Amino acid sequence: MTKIGIILGSTRPGRNGEAVAKWVYDVAAKRTDAEFELVDLLDYNLPHLDEAIPPSLGQYSQPHTIEWAKKIDSFDGFIFVTPEYNHSTSGALKNAIDFLFKEWNNKAAGFVGYGAVGGARAVEHLRLIAGELMLADVRAQVLLSLATDFENYSTFLPSERQEQALATVLDQTVAWSKALETVRKPA
């Protein structure tokens, strides 16, 4: 069965992303075409990148890196749930991504952003990062506005339109994850 990790990309106290990621998971969990798992960066307690050797060499020395690598390696694709901070993704998500290399390769990535302009700039930055990591980013995306998809900028209330957009992101991410399976298998 295809496995998709839904990565909650904020560790900030009082984060809006927790409600968004749970919504993504709840919608995804109703599907039968893949297994979905919510992955909260808070559960991995990754310090600022502390590996001496570049991740592209795969020679991890820290226990937290090895644990993180095993988790990410277990998935066929990802949905990144990202806030937009200062026109980009969160430092915590960027740091978590930077710990690894091969564990991201030849997998699919979908994006759910949230922020003042729906997290669009954070998603665009993640698309650039995905290219370097050989993550195939899908076209569809969900962009959630703090002004219209949240009450008082803090209580998440997505519109029906957003659930339809999420269904498209999930469709594309699952399809691409399955298609890339042959690339991930050793020759």
Which domain range does residue 86 map to?
3-184
What is the number of structural domains in the chain? Answer: 1
Report how far residue 7's alpha carbon sits from residue 94's, in angstroms, rounded to the nearest whole number.
12
Question: How many CB atoms sit inside 10 A of residue 168's CB?
Answer: 15
Are 122 and 132 spatial neighbours (Cβ–Cβ below 8 Å)?
no
SS3 10: coil
pLDDT tens-place string over residues 114-160: 999 999 999 999 999 999 999 999 999 999 999 999 999 999 999 99
pLDDT tens-place string over residues 42-90: 999 999 999 999 999 999 999 999 999 999 999 999 999 999 999 999 9
* pLDDT recorded at residue 185: 82
* CA dist 90 → 42, 48, 113, 177 (Å): 13, 13, 11, 25
Please measure the distance between the N-terminal and C-terminal CA atoms of the chain and give it in whole angstroms. 20
* pLDDT tops 70 at residue 180: yes
* pTM: predicted TM-score of the whole model, two decimal places: 0.97
Are 112 and 78 spatial neighbours (Cβ–Cβ below 8 Å)?
no
148-160: string of b/e by CB count within 10 Å (b at 16+)? ebbeeeeebebee
